[in-house]
Amino acid sequence: MANLGYIQMVRHCNQNCGFCSNPETPFFYDLEQYRTIIDDFAARGYFGVILTGGEPTLSPVLPEAIAYARSRDLHVRLITNGQKMADAVYTKTLMDAGLQHVHLSLHTHRAKVEDFLTGTPGSLRWAEQALDHLGASPVVVNLNTVINRYNCDHLHETVDWMIDRFPFIRHVVWNNLDPSIGRATANTFFTARLGDLEYSLALAMRRLHDSGRTFRVERVPLCYMTDFAHCSTETRKIVKGEERIVHFLDDKGTVRQTAWGHLYADVCTTCSLRLICGGLFDRGDAYDPAELSPVYLDPRPIVQRIVQDEASDPSWRPDPARLAQLVPAAAPRPAHPSAPNGSRLVQPSTDPRRRHDPEARDWQPTAETAKDTSVDEGALAGPRRPG
């Protein structure tokens, strides 16, 4: 199975997203601690590692960390806002260390909305500069977008912009906002209802598909993406029986995740896709089981499509019995032997200059950003369906 491990290198950031799921803590991994985690992933036969944060490019050991993971035959990916990679020299340093794949976080092509979401004036320009550098390199580049109330009506327009401006990007990852952690728990106004995102997401998926590109969608129930159910992140993980270990730099510690279902409503019991659907994520005030409606489609073509997609992945072997049942493995997997959930495989270091604010209710738009966004009232007035 194509298991990927996640390591939060640092938890501070050079941007200030109002819905950040992993706001600042004082913790970081030094190179020795990091090597211990990489060795553990390698011993488990993991396919690769995703270096994340906070903003991982703020880790002073990132180039060495990339090189070490490559030396252990792990595929190395980076999730970044791209601000530091606007510097071509720095980007080349990461390339030279062996970086293979970048997930660049960008939530909209509308500059003022992006400034508002990231709490950082100029963030779109930095991301564009980073993409220009990356487009001239052999690194694989994906776009990562958090679906929220302020971009959910023009996801398709951002796709059009991306195809035109950065045609080398062949894959997009949409993560529907997780309102249960980080700053989004306080800033609940960022959360979109499923009905608000459905139309634009459908257009966006269709445009990517028609252009020969691929995509994944997380935290969107299958009844809101039936045409592309095989592109649901949760559905793929359920079908493939994947696991994921995340080394958080907060109170969650090391977490091994093997279950990919969220919550299900009464109507789900009659739905033909129930066994391969991630269900409804608890979306706080926007959580509404009444938004779900059962589907009566044959799940087998969806499962078959996922199996076919993964045929080229040498690290994954289909389990016929599992696929026949279309359910996650019935037998519980053994617990993480060296670090049960909530404990740590390795203790991170502490930077006393950094805040530790588990509540993370500190986000406010900067005065400059607030001023900027007020100019374009229409862009921030809430979700609208395109005319």
* Side-chain-side CA neighbours of residue 154 (13 Å): 19
Burial zone of 128 (CB within 10 Å; 0-12 exposed, 13-18 middle, 19+ buried): middle
Identify which range of 36-44, 84-92, 287-295, 347-355 contacts ligand SF4 by CB under 6 A.
Answer: 287-295
The enclosing H or E element of 373 equals: helix 367-375
**What minimum distance in Å lies between the beta carbon of 289 and ligand SF4?**
9
**Under a CB-based contact definition with an 8 Å cutoff, are residues 135 and 166 in contact?**
yes
**Under a CB-based contact definition with an 8 Å cutoff, are residues 168 and 124 in contact?**
no
Under the binding rule (CB under 6 A), the answer on residue 274 touching ligand SF4 is: yes
Under the binding rule (CB under 6 A), the answer on residue 195 touching ligand SF4 is: no
Q: How far apart are CA 78 and CA 49, in angstroms?
A: 9
What does the block give as tokens for 352? 């006393």
**What minimum distance in Å lies between the beta carbon of 271 and ligand SF4?**
3
Q: State whether residue 78 is helix, strand or coil.
A: strand
**What minimum distance in Å lies between the beta carbon of 267 and ligand SF4?**
5
161 vs 264, which CB is nearer to ligand SF4? 264
**What minimum distance in Å lies between the beta carbon of 291 and ligand SF4?**
9
How many amino acids of this chain bind ligand SF4 (CB under 6 A)? 16
Under the binding rule (CB under 6 A), the answer on residue 279 touching ligand SF4 is: yes
181 vs 265, which CB is nearer to ligand SF4? 265
Under the binding rule (CB under 6 A), the answer on residue 197 touching ligand SF4 is: no
Under the binding rule (CB under 6 A), the answer on residue 294 touching ligand SF4 is: yes
- DSSP conformational letter for 335: P
207 vs 219, which CB is nearer to ligand SF4? 219
Q: Name residues whose C-beta falls within 8 Å of residue 378's C-beta, 6 or more positions apart in sequence.
A: none
Cis peptide before 54 (omega within 30 of 0): yes
Binding mask 213-232 for ligand SF4 (x = CB under 6 A): --------xxx---------
CB atoms within 10 A of CB 70: 18
Per CB under 6 A, residues contacting ligand SF4 are 221-223, 264, 267-268, 271, 273-274, 277, 279-280, 292-295
